[in-house]
């Protein structure tokens, strides 16, 4: 499974559509729970990407500063 937000958002959309199409309450509820879980995974993956980019930018800045000194 790919660890990227787009993958998770696509799965959530599928579950939202399945929930709308469901005729049984328990099936609709199950799909809604699944959609919520996929949305939460997407949010976590987005936060992880944001933090990783910030960490990489800080590391690059530190390398540049050290190169300027040395």
Question: If DSSP states are collapsed to H, E and C, what string results for the chain?
Answer: CCCCHHHHHHHHHHHHHHHHHCCCHHHHHHHHHHHHHHHHHHHHHHHHHHHHHHHHHHHHHHHHHHHHHC
pLDDT given at position 69: 86
Task: Name the band, by pLDDT with cuts 50, 70 and 90, for residue 2.
Answer: low
For 3-49, the pLDDT digits (tens) are 799 999 999 999 999 999 999 999 999 999 999 999 999 999 999 99
Does the pTM surpass 0.85? The reply is no
Asked whether residue 70 carries a pLDDT value surpassing 80, the answer given is no
Q: What does the domain layout of the chain look like in residue ranges? A: 5-69
């Amino acid at each position: 499974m790919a660890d990227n937000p787009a993958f998770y958002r696509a799965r959530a959309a599928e579950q939202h559509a399945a929930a709308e199409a469901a005729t049984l309450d328990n099936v609709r509820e199950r799909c809604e729970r699944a959609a919520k879980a996929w949305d939460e995974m997407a949010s976590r993956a987005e936060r992880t990407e944001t933090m990783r980019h910030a960490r990489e930018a800080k590391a690059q800045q530190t390398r540049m500063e050290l190169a300027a000194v040395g």
